[in-house]
Structure 1
Amino acid sequence: MADITVRNATLADAPRILEIYAYYVEHTVITFEYTVPSLEEFEGRMRHTMEKYPYLVIEKDGRIEGYAYAGAFVGRAAYDWACELTIYLDHNAQKCGMGRMLYQALADRLKAMGILNLYACIGYPQVEDEYLTRNSAQFHEHLGFALCGTFRNCGYKFGRWYDMVWMEKIIGEHKADQPAVQPYRY
């Protein structure tokens, strides 16, 4: 049986995480990014996320097979209780339960910080093609996310237009006197 572990990412993980992400940049519309960022730029993105939010990796038998992190939803104080989530698994590691395990670990850490609302921004095809299916939206729906918005023809990649959907999951109680969100501690 495989040994599967979720842990906090470190900057030493950046080359493998970037390797996973590069596949999606180059071969899919799961990310609307056109070019693979440099390792230095990617490390900077990780550092920025880690200032306040969890950045996790999932390992199978000691090899990183995916990663997930949270970020500010909009970046204004009134939105502090909401986060946008991102998850990527090695393109060969899908459909084996690691995505669910990784996302649950991320949600647990966010809830402990005081986060209440989780959001996912997902590329969505009007017609599935070789670059984009509806799998990500279906994955999120399976985990309790609900569709809360659709932007039509807002992303252009590989010579085609794609929609983007927002999905939402509420993980905490909204109060009149809401306690402040606590930054994630590594």
Structure 2
Amino acid sequence: MERELFIRDADPEDAKKLVEIYSYYVLNTAVSFEYEAPSVEEFKNRIKTTKEKYPYMVCLLKDRIVGYAYAGPYSSREAYSWTATTSIYVDKDYRRQGIGSLLYKELEKRLKEQDIVNLLAGAAYSDEEDEYLTHDSYKFHIRSGYKKVAHMQTIGKKFDRWYDLLWMQKKL
């Protein structure tokens, strides 16, 4: 399937489709700790702001956007300039098809070109999987070469349940 996939830079005009992908995670899962899905206009602004310094890309299957990934600052302090956070979301109907791996591979390549040496990713976590959260994100990051470096307990509350947050780190 990989040969049918294509990665390109995200454009603010992609915001409508990205909101559709992201909204599923906001409204139905504890993967995102946001309670309300952002508007298309808010998403356009997020894309524009991110792209001022970091990569923001989409993955297409033929002409359909099926996932996206981006990076952002870990901290605004100058000493952290070589560390970036990463985020990735794949359309719920296209998971486990290599899209996430392809997106992260390209994201890492571009971040290396920017002299980024550390990647951090937050993964919501619960000891027991439930209808709102599986261990998929944690397992994906482990397979992608990340290591768990912090486990913050009961850090986010969603659907009247407390969830933990794992900080995952990868050295480029």
Normalized against structure 2, the TM-score is what?
A: 0.97
Compute the displacement of 1:126 (Å): 2.1
Looking at structure 1, the residues matched to 78 and 61 of structure 2 have their Cα atoms a distance apart, in angstroms, of 37
Partner of residue 106, structure 1: 107
Partner of 2:38: 37
Counterpart secondary structure, 1:47:
helix
Which 10-residue stretch deviates more, 99-108 or 38-47? 38-47
Alignment match, 1:19: 20
The residue number in structure 2 matching 1:176 is none
1:74 Cα deviation from its structure 2 partner: 1.4
Q: List alignment gaps of at least 5 residues for structure 2.
A: none
Specify the code of the residue in structure 2 equivalent to 1:97.
G
Give runs of aligned pairs for residues 1-186 of structure 1, distance below 5 A: 3-171=4-172
User: CA offsets, 1:87-116, max 9 Å, x none?
Assistant: 000001100111100100000000011000
Please give the alpha-carbon distance, in whole angstroms, between the structure 1 residues aligned to 2:140 and 2:80.
25
Cα offset for 1:6? 0.5
1:26-74 residue CA offsets vs partner (Å, 9 max, x unmatched) = 0000000000111111111111101100000000011000000000011
Indicate the RMSD between aligned Cα atoms, in angstroms: 0.9
Q: Percent identity?
A: 44
Higher Cα Rg, which structure: 1
- Give the equivalent residue in structure 2 for 1:175: none
Deviation beyond 3 Å, 4+ runs, structure 1:
none
Q: Are 2:12 and 2:45, in contact at CA under 8 Å, matched by a contact in 1?
A: no
TM-superposed CA distance for 1:145, in Å, is: 0.3
> What is the alpha-carbon distance in structure 1 between the residues aligned to residue 4 and residue 143 of structure 2?
24
Mapped partners of 2:152, 2:4: distance in 1: 40
Does the 8 Å CA contact 2:56/2:69 hold for their aligned counterparts?
yes
Deviation readout 1:127-158 (Å, 9 max, x if unpaired): 10000011101000001100000000010000
Q: Distance in 2 between matches of 1:75 and 1:46?
A: 18
- The residue type equivalent to 1:34 in the other structure is Y
Which residue identity is paired with 2:59?
Answer: I
Distance 1:152 1:11 in 2: 35
